[in-house]
Amino acid sequence: MSGLAAAGAALALAAAAGVPVAAEHPAPARMAVALRADDKPLDEESGAGGAGATMSLGGTRVPDPLVLDNGDTVDSIDDWESQRRPELLEAFADHVYGHTLPTPEPDEVAFDDQPLSEGGKKVRIEVTGPEGSASFTLRVFVPEGGTPKGTFLLIDHRGSVGDEPGSSGYAPIPTILDAGYAFAALDAGEVAPDDPGSYRSGVIDAFYPSGTELPDDAGRAISAWAWGASRAMDYLQDDPDIDPDKVAVIGHSRGGKAALWAGAQDTRFPVIVSNNSGSTGAKLARRDDAGESIAAITDAFPHWFPPTYSDYAGNADSLPVDQHELLALIAPGRVVVGSATEDGNADPQGEFLSYLGAAPVYDLYGLGDTGISSSSWPPTTDEGFRGPAMSYHLRSGGHGLDEAAWDIYLTGKLFKR
């Protein structure tokens, strides 16, 4: 089966189950997802057929995740895991997020945990690289009585979670604990300060000489935050209070971008939650004129991505990858995409299309059901959609991680198939 046919088959299965699949050219008022079994390969001038094959998502041509760079079709889990997945990881590292910092050896990472007066513990994670050492903080709060249902690991880019378990909408720790879940927060600003002048002063300068320029394809802040989440997992997997098979990395906005990149690289995470991650998160890059563009994000935040990514400013169609393939890299783990109706900068429709575009890869594992009852935009708001390994919601309101979003995550059975 070709990659395009496999993509079409994912929605053909949904249609067989009574889920309507919209036509490729819907009425303007309701943009639909076009993953049709009768899609034809593009002609050579368009770059499809073989390497560079594409499929259509809502009328946007995007790379087919099930076609190898050499033009061969991916039609098995083995083909995906041994060939296509490594190709995509390398392409995202080369062109979008930069190459990540090395995984430390056991004697190069140390943990010092201290109890907090309000319960929980404060963990100092120290990592030694070739240029020195760096440390950052992980805070862990566990509910009383029995093993937690699971753990939410927040990539906290705001530095909002302190030693006392506050109850903000962004991190409503008492609510999370009362629901039976543990909560951990990684202080992303200590891993890499969110500042173009000092972002290297966290962990990056422990691996690169501080007086020299970073390689153009080396990861910057987003990549460092994702790497930090993996170091947090190094600790959590040995924490007797935590079930390491039930850890969800969650990030909002820029933290959501890092959460997705963490989940794509580190298969220890069974659940990845992207909340309003937008551009270079869940949003399709080729919808560059919708929401935040590559030019806008790389100009405003030059310390988030390597210079190689800014090469695609104004030319998103030339990217060899797109964000539905990033979501697909999380398979067979659960990918969770949370969008908001008024979050125009994040392009919620682009996030929706990207979510559906990952389904053909999940279908290799027999997990291609997105849980969404219709492929037409917009879906029902304020309702959690859940398939065996894919979850989605479109929340009413604007850009934010709030109690309404947390309610969907806490009741979404994210750790069950």
Higher pLDDT, 213 or 52: 213
Q: What is the DSSP string of 114-128?
A: EE-TTSSEEEEEEEE
Closest CA to 363 of 393, 327, 332, 330: 332
112: how many CB neighbours lie within 10 A of its CB?
10
Q: Which pLDDT value is given to residue 32?
A: 34
Tell me how many degrees the CA angle 338-257-36 measures, rounded to the nearest 5: 60
190 contacts 155 by C-beta, under 8 angstroms: no
Q: Which residues pair with 137 in a beta bridge?
A: 124
Write the burial class of residue 108 (CB in 10 Å: 0-12 exposed, 13-18 middle, 19+ buried). middle
Round the CA-based radius of gyration of the chain to a whole number and report it.
21
pLDDT at 33 over 50: no
CA distance 290 to 269: 31
**Catalytic positions, written as ranges:** 253, 399
pLDDT at 11 over 90: no
Instruction: Give first-to-last CA distance, the chain, whole Å.
Output: 27
Closest CA to 380 of 409, 352, 413, 415: 352
Residue 47 pLDDT class (50, 70, 90 cuts): very low
Q: What is the DSSP string of 293-322?
A: -HHHHHHH-TTTS-HHHHTTTT-GGG-S--
Q: What percentage of residues in the chain have a pLDDT greater than 70?
A: 88
pLDDT at 397 over 80: yes
pLDDT at 41 over 90: no
Residue 47, amino acid: G
Look at strands 390-395 and 334-340 and give their pairing: parallel
Higher pLDDT, 71 or 14: 71
What are the boundaries of each domain within the chain? 3-97, 106-410
Q: How far is CA 46 from the centre of its chain?
A: 29
pLDDT at 7 over 50: no
CA distance 399 to 369: 27
pLDDT at 234 over 80: yes
pLDDT at 270 over 90: yes
Give the total residue count for the chain: 417
Q: Which pLDDT value is given to residue 26?
A: 28
Token readout for 324 is 């539905």
pLDDT at 44 over 90: no
Q: What percentage of residues in the chain have a pLDDT greater than 90?
A: 83
pLDDT tens digits, 292-306: 999 999 999 999 999
Alpha carbon distances (Å) from 93 to 350, 411, 415: 22, 34, 28
Question: Which residue's structure tokens are 């992207």?
Answer: 274
340 contacts 399 by C-beta, under 8 angstroms: yes
Strand, helix or coil for residue 172: strand
Which CATH class for the 106-410 domain? alpha beta
Closest CA to 244 of 274, 275, 271: 271
Backbone angles phi, psi at 415, to 5 degrees: -100, 10
| DSSP 8-state class, residue 167 | B
| DSSP 8-state class, residue 97 | I
CA distance 219 to 413: 33
Residue 373 pLDDT class (50, 70, 90 cuts): confident
Residue 349, amino acid: Q
Backbone angles phi, psi at 114, to 5 degrees: -130, 140
Closest CA to 259 of 297, 229, 290: 229
